[in-house]
Homo-oligomer: A and B are copies of this chain.
Amino acid sequence: MSEQSEALQALLDAEPSLTRRPCVPALEERLFKVHPLLDHGFVRVVDYMGDDGAIVQAARVSYGKGTRKASSDRGLIRYLMRHRHTTPFEMCEIKLHIKLPIFIARQWIRHRTANVNEYSARYSILDKEFYVPDPEHLAEQSSDNKQGRKEDTLSAEQSAAVLELLKNDATRTYDTYQKLLNDQGDGTPVDEGEPQIARELARINLTLNYYTQWYWKIDLHNLLHFLSLRMHPHAQYEIRVYGDLIADITRDWVPMAYEAFEDFRLGGAFFSRRELEVLRSIINEGGNPDTLLPPSGLSFRERKSFRDTLHIPPPKRD
């Protein structure tokens, strides 16, 4: 893995080149640099293609003179985002080098429209690096739903005990891993008299919090979709921190597109047919949510979500 670091450091040290391609100075600043995350994770920008202007350029091919009405690039990008004209956003591409725990990699890979080259533990030996949560996040609950973390705050002692268990098991499984490999790293055995179990098999003994790494390349449209799911409060904390960091990178890369994404995706909300009916009654007939919601056909959770989104205080009795 240190080889990767060396290779990227070499790029960082190299003289920049001249190009006619669109350049984004704020992203050039970030190129190849380690953005650390969790206890051993990181995100590095390895390459990118396009900028806000590339979105506009592609849209103008599609929509021709019609796009002139949107007087500015920013206006056009906002129009595209609002109307979910997604193809111009596919014209930008970014490539990241990411180090992340395996249990997070398993969620991440479900995003199918991306290109991936992952470090292979069939061929190479994994480093002894595993994830252990901060005490503060151990107790944190992600929300009121089942997949979240439990509400009960852990005492300092309890936290310490949990972290100790995690560390011990990860350490022990790695010790076994090394014993099974019986490999000094270059193929020669540590213990001549003992067998060498194949790498592809020895690794099955490692726990899911071990770190892996990969190159991940994705277009901007699919990246924003990834972000909208993985920055969501219901997403697991450990993937959310990656989402948040990549969001910062994206803001530097395509500031107009990211602003539109915040306004028309992240900061907005979808209302169902029935919710719209309640909204119309409230607005046009001066209806009271406390009266309108119970017979609306919305479920308890839908009513709660409706109030939360609109900052309507809870009912006396709902």
Contacts and interface: CB of A to CB of B under 8 A. Distances in A.
Interface of A: 3-4, 7, 11-12, 14, 16-23, 28, 31-32, 46-50, 54, 57-66, 75, 82, 87-88, 90-91, 93, 95, 97, 101-103, 105-106, 109-110, 112-113, 115-120, 122-124, 131, 133, 138-139, 141-142, 146-150, 152, 154, 158, 162, 165-166, 169-170, 172-173, 176, 179-180, 194-201, 203-209, 213-215, 217, 219, 236, 262-264, 266-276, 279-280, 282-284, 289, 299, 302, 309-312
B102 A195 contact: no
A150 B31 contact: no
B197 A162 contact: yes
Contacts of A206: 207-208
Contacts of A106: 102, 105-106, 109
Contacts of A118: 61-62
A263 B274 contact: yes
5 contacts: A106-B109, A123-B147, A148-B198, A267-B272, A267-B276
Contact of A133 (B58, B63, B201): B201
B4 A60 contact: yes
Contact of A204 (B93, B119, B208, B276): B208
A169 B175 CA distance: 10
Shortest Cβ-Cβ A-B pairs, 10 listed = A267-B273, A64-B124, A149-B198, A90-B115, A17-B23, A122-B147, A49-B49, A204-B209, A16-B18, A112-B112
Contacts of A87: 115-117
A162 B95 CA distance: 40
